[in-house]
């Protein structure tokens, strides 16, 4: 199998979950056969993509060594995609990702360095981009804007230069908290303390929506590193203001969004709940209306 090219830049959309647990208020057997880019469960679509064709389905992941990003890379590879992982630290990537996998290509890429360099990293062989980047907490109060706003915009512009027509963004619930009447929500306040993080993310979302690119914006609740303990609940934008979800499920939603046309041009908010009924992704994405 020829080496696949994969750029993954994925980081925690809600950065503080590396060190904090959200309180209840916010946290209250053969290889897979892939259908053509619009796989639909229960439909009569029967066209299948063979092994050789699957190897050509390359997805660029920005933030691939992040806690969520690496899970997206793993799930893409498990489902037969080739991945081009975009990372800032090549040494870290080689120890974090399965660099021996012939379907994985690790490339140095920094979303803050402009769209031209990102376009070179994405190349002409990537059919979609998944952005799971996120700034690292520190003293630079402009970091959220450099990464979560301008960095995402750079990535969108790089897609335009390479004619990549599919874009998946990992964002966060409560990005539009001000319009939701959640200005006094402790989580909204805390997440905006370090450089107005949620505001930066919202501005990037708005840019994507006006760009003309086929997008899916995924807003997860508080991120958990532990395995899933419930089923995915998916709601329209500006609906959820509390709840949590396993990073494994966030990665799954991102990967499934590439397969279902029902996910196109939509903003979805996700958490998991033990009492929620298990629903297909065809049903979940189909239940959300475009705005």
Q: Which CATH number covers residue 119?
A: 3.40.50.720
- Look up the pTM and report it: 0.81
pLDDT the model gives residue 138: 63
Query: Does 199 reside within a domain?
Result: yes
The residues near 9 (Cβ < 8 Å, ≥ 6 apart) are 61, 62, 63, 64, 66, 69, 85, 86, 87, 88, 109, 111, 131, 132, 133, 155
pLDDT the model gives residue 172: 97
Buried b (16+ CB within 10 A) or exposed e, 189-219: eebbebbbbbbbbbbbbeebeeeebebbbbb
Query: Does 141 reside within a domain?
Result: yes
The residues near 154 (Cβ < 8 Å, ≥ 6 apart) are 111, 112, 113, 114, 115, 118
Query: Does 85 reside within a domain?
Result: yes
Could you say which residues of the chain have pLDDT below 70? Answer: 1-56, 137-139
Domain span at residue 280 reads 15-28+41-286
Query: Does 4 reside within a domain?
Result: no
pLDDT the model gives residue 190: 87
Query: Does 196 reside within a domain?
Result: yes
Domain count, the chain: 1
pLDDT the model gives residue 176: 96
Query: Does 168 reside within a domain?
Result: yes
| Helix, strand counts (H, E) of the chain | 11, 12
């Amino acid at each position: 199998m020829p080496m696949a090219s994969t750029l993954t830049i994925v980081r925690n959309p809600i950065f503080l979950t590396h060190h904090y647990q959200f309180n209840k208020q916010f946290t209250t057997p053969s290889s897979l056969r892939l259908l053509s880019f619009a796989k639909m469960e229960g439909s009569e679509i029967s066209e299948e993509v063979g092994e050789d064709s699957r190897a050509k389905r390359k997805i660029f992941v920005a933030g691939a060594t992040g806690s969520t990003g690496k899970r997206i890379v793993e799930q893409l590879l498990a489902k037969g995609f080739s991945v081009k992982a975009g990372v800032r630290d090549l040494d870290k990537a080689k120890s974090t990702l399965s660099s021996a996998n012939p379907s994985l290509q690790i490339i140095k890429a920094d979303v803050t360095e402009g769209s031209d360099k990102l376009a070179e990293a994405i190349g002409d062989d990537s059919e979609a981009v998944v952005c799971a980047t996120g700034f690292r907490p520190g003293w630079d109060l402009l970091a959220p804007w450099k990464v979560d706003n301008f960095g995402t915009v750079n990535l969108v512009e790089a897609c335009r230069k390479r004619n990549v027509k599919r874009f998946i963004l990992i964002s966060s619930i409560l990005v539009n908290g001000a319009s939701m009447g959640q200005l006094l929500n402790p989580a909204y306040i805390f997440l905006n303390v370090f450089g107005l993080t949620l505001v930066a993310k919202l501005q990037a979302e708005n840019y994507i929506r006006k760009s003309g690119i086929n997008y899916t914006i995924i807003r997860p609740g508080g991120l958990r590193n532990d395995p899933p303990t419930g089923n995915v609940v998916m709601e329209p934008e500006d609906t959820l203001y509390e709840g949590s979800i396993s990073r494994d499920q966030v990665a799954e939603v991102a990967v499934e969004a590439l397969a279902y046309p029902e996910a196109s041009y939509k903003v979805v908010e996700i958490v998991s709940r033990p009492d929620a009924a298990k629903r297909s992704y065809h049903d979940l994405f189909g239940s959300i209306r475009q705005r």
